[in-house]
Amino acid sequence: MVHISDGILSLPVLAAGWAITAVLIAVALWWSKRKGSIAEEIPKLSVMTAAFFVASLVHIAVGPTSVHLILCGLVGIMLGILAYPAIFIGLLLQAFLFGHGGVTVLGVNTVDMGIPALVAYGIFKAGNKLTPSKSMTSKASILGALAGGIAVALAVSLTAGMLYTLGEEYAWAIKALILYHIPIIVIEAIIAGSVVAFLARVKPELIGG
């Protein structure tokens, strides 16, 4: 539901989406190259992209419709800034293989889901810095849940914002979009929290980009 289809948004919005996406992918690749080799990140990158790719098939019935998992928060926490290109590739595959979203709106959809991933990473990292003393697992689960939930809420808000550029007649649809995603926010917070807590205990070096 957070995937916007082809032929809905106006041309300036589509162009802006592509511009932001192109810049952010370039920055992400440049940044991670500067930090060191991308080579060791690639297996993790593809596993997280695969998880993101199939997450959209997990449907949960809400009211008259159904919504699906997004997993942008978890991808962000796990991959850091590289989450942005990962989500771009995931969305590309979803568009071609599942018909979720579309090709011309790929830029906008990547903005809608990629920026929340980056925000989730920021929250997780900042939270870790601010509370250095507490036990690793419980802290990771709380921060993971927080970042995962906020990321989905932000993704829905961004999608709503993009649809809002179409005008007033979409207003009620936007309200529905936000309302139906409340369960997903809770579910994704739980998923992100438990996955991050598990990894923090078993293999903490996997978390973060």
Partner 1 sequence: MKIRKVIVLFAALMLLSCLCLSISVSVVSAHRLHVVHKISEIEIEAYFGGGSPCRDANVTVYDNEGNLYLEGNTDEEGKFRFPPKMGINEYRVVVDAVHMPGHRAEAVINLSQETAGGAAGVMGTEMPLYMRVIAGFGYLTGLAGAALAYTGWKLKKKYENEK
What residue ranges bind partner 1 (CB under 8 A)?
1-8, 37-39, 42-43, 45-46, 49-50, 53-54, 57, 59, 64-66, 89, 93-94, 97-100, 159, 163, 170, 173-174, 176-177
**Alpha carbon of 89 to those of 16, 17, 21, 36, 150: distances in Å?**
19, 15, 12, 22, 22
- Closest distance between partner 1 and the C-beta of residue 5, in Å? 5
Task: State which residue, 76 or 85, has the beta carbon closest to partner 1.
Answer: 85
Closest CB 140 distance from partner 1, rounded Å: 26
Minimum gap (Å) between residue 4 Cβ and partner 1 = 4
Nearer to partner 1, 8 or 20 (CB): 8
Residue placing its CB nearer to partner 1 in the complex, 1 or 117: 1
N-term to C-term CA, the chain: 28
Q: Which is nearer to partner 1, 57 or 136 (CB)?
A: 57
5 is written with which tokens?
A: 């289809």
**CB 116 to partner 1: min, Å:** 16
Closest CA to 209 of 93, 125, 133: 125
Interatomic CA distance for residues 183 and 196, integer angstroms: 20
Is the Cβ of residue 38 or residue 136 nearer to partner 1 in the bound state? 38
Report helix, strand or coil for 59.
strand
Q: Taking a C-beta distance cutoff of 8 angstroms, is the pair 75, 192 a contact?
A: no
